[in-house]
Structure 1
């Protein structure tokens, strides 16, 4: 039986290593007769991040930093200063609300040593690290060997005694229906879908810009020029369509410089989006944009630019049409600039910001170009186009309120990083409620702004929009309370995280659920109450675990079924608390290396590897108290799929 388990350990370890996204290589550079530089290179798979040694919050950081140790340091050799690392990428993590530093693709670490024992011909070290991608995290370690003279490095051996074998045996579960482990649910979140969403958001921004006084009056004038000022009707239509294509191209071109920045130094975009004082500056700029929309002053590019472009447009032909499109972009800046600023700031706050910005800009340009091409094809539709009027000023002021609300998002970013404590979640939501109330008062004509015309009778559409704003304010109000319903998932990512609250935390279990952090305790409870088990492999520093808990588990239907029907066992694979000495053991891997299982996290990571042949988190298993799997494993996914998965497991348990 023991030999069988050892073979199982070797097989599982092979599978785990196959999905290890970080590969470690070592080399040695001789500095002098007694000094050497130990070079450690980490190669990181695409989309994965390796966290840096030094984090902005130091030991208080939520993630586990990369940590190096060297055997016999101080005896046969001395370490000269600390391990050097390259400049990491640093950005604000929206879930934990703090700046985190990491590396992508590859990174080199260096440690200088001075040899004090001339007989030493090799040095042995190790590294502990955390790596994450968009859906999962791993917590791992690796041995590092450095040969000073080209000879084989002796890593030494650890004893795998009968106690270690017995403790390892205890971790292996007599699982039933193990064929279900092949059916893993919750695949990667589609990046294509994310880009599609950004295109749609950019398109909506362009549609809003069309309704402003800077753009809307241009539509009938420009379309009439192309359809009536050209002797050939077909040519007029093709010119209008070309005009629209140029508009799209111009807005796409605005994102091109960011691709050069991204390729030269990807961290530049991250630094732009996460720097505290830049976020404060964005806050001031967006407040400035808002008051421009309110009509207190006008934002315009130099008039000479527009005049030059207008003159160039008279040259005719394709070049003239291009300059006409460029003139539109310049003269409409006072209305489109703040919207484009929102798109810019939102795109650069994410990985792949340059591409996201291009997609969003393309959507924005497409929306601006659409009416010029559409009305050129169907000129009779121009008669149904609403006339310019005070409704455009109303649209502009409403955009001002939206810009003001967005401004506080940037101030919130700075507050989270610096822990000023001035914009806790409830305070932030309270400010948005006040802005919503002021917007409602404006829509109903109770408050006025400088550019507003004479007060008119409230129209049906304006009244309906005011009622919609009231509904949104009512939706925000539960966010001021301490409850499971306060997550405001429609606004996920905008308010500060749930934990950044004016209310004290009462439980370290997600959402205040009853949970067990020890498998045996949870199993005993499940047997006593005849309930199925939700086995949750998670981590304190697992970003997507928090996303699942805050955005999926908090759904009323899911929360109810978790709270009433399942026994939740959350096993934290990155828990660094030491196990009692009598429960510590050595675990032999397929390469002959023996890993010491000393911490609670070591135990649960090994437990996950032995039984479920994976090392990623979040990772969910539904099983009965007698170890029968109820369906396939689940990973990072959406609420609907997760709910159906829970219901299916519950039905299988009852049957």
Structure 2
């Protein structure tokens, strides 16, 4: 029965990103007031926009030179009507943005409304045109165009009063909502939504919960699944300890996460996910647990501590359960991505409840499935004649734990440029581990605590075959195959010993680019790794600047590169339309002392390349999460040309983002 629960959870985790891409952030509808205008009368075409939660839509009444896309409605010259005046936005919000746009813009949340006054000039009228707007996410920073066409048609009644009287302005209160003429192909009118002035804590909780479920798919979380199952296999507390485990996860996240947000600042998540100390600690812990699962030794608490715990049998499992929960929090905290960035920045700016609510929602997403994983072994222990198969499960978990441990070593290796675990070495280790697991499952090798192996069961044979298929999939990677299915798990392609030929142009540009002796762009792209050098190159080439805030340990950065950047439409635009600069926010290369400075954000001295890049991202763009993509005009880099975007696997969205930046740059020439 529990296998069904686990299958359901896995399906839900995989389905969330796909469903997210189907969301339409803003839906337009339109009508006319009054519904039956008379010839010679004025009327209003009313456009209503239903905007999804956590999205906003730019209005129509601010300077288009500011940067964001101003909403426009274009009316075709048509029969039976003429427009009077311009489009009017009804009660939009206003924001003075001095950090990105350096000016005041207006926008809508929840529901927006625009009105255009017209005059009916003939018994039959047909009003047609198009709308062009832009909607952006408060969470990811993604901005997408919202475009479409509209059409209204009807028959006007003959005027019964003088034309001068009929031309009185039509006000909102003087007319009633009425349906559109039956002949008009009109979209359904959206329900009225009260637009909140600020993002509600309730909405932020659900955002954090959803982001937590997505973060469960990241590589730093998977190693804890076999560890949890194995740990609770030995416990006798049943469901009670399992629910206690989930409670500890929530409490530790809320308490320590919020505490660290206030005192460690916005750069702590970057430290935890990329510094060699936590990564080597995680690597060591998982290697030890893995070897223990294989039967080499038993991990036990010190005897004096065990005696003390036994003396208080009602608290016997608390310490071990708390340790497991604390380990999960430490490891998973580095995978919070954009959510962790927004929580930490909100805390550092003085918000009190927002980081607490955010951590609560995020931790619940982790607590729910891991509580189920903790309950599952208790049901296994109750099965009659469990026998040798439970030890076989432990051995399989041990192999997986050792394999997953190398992900943490790989992050530290990339960040510090040790070159101990380049791509082909990492693959060789994984091939060896999973080959040994295949042989074990087929009964060709056995370990210390295994009983006699008789005939293989059907599930074991199928699982062994699946592992063998995975090994076969890994082998071409040794010779340069991209292995997109493992993007983010493996070291990047530029660490591969076998590389394709480089063009003369890319080699020449690589030689002149600062830090190109240890940094490289993916997919054969030419570019830079220093903002000022890239800005000068963009001015010389008369091209806009594409800034890629990235990281060696950034899982979503690798996914974007391998799934989105590699698309021919995106790659062509990056090569031809932009000067690319990759700013690694976790690189630990120490710069010369004359380049050190003290940050205005946290007051700390920035000595390394990664610290300075991260400080630049936080101070200029109010974000500390990677990936983060910014399009700048090098002639005036005070603000981005379009709102920056974060992780989004939709290629069409990214193409639109690049095209919009290019169009704005060219129009400003």
Q: Which TM-score applies when normalising by structure 2? A: 0.46
The one of the two structures with greater contact order (alpha-carbon pairs below 8 A, sep at least 6) is 1
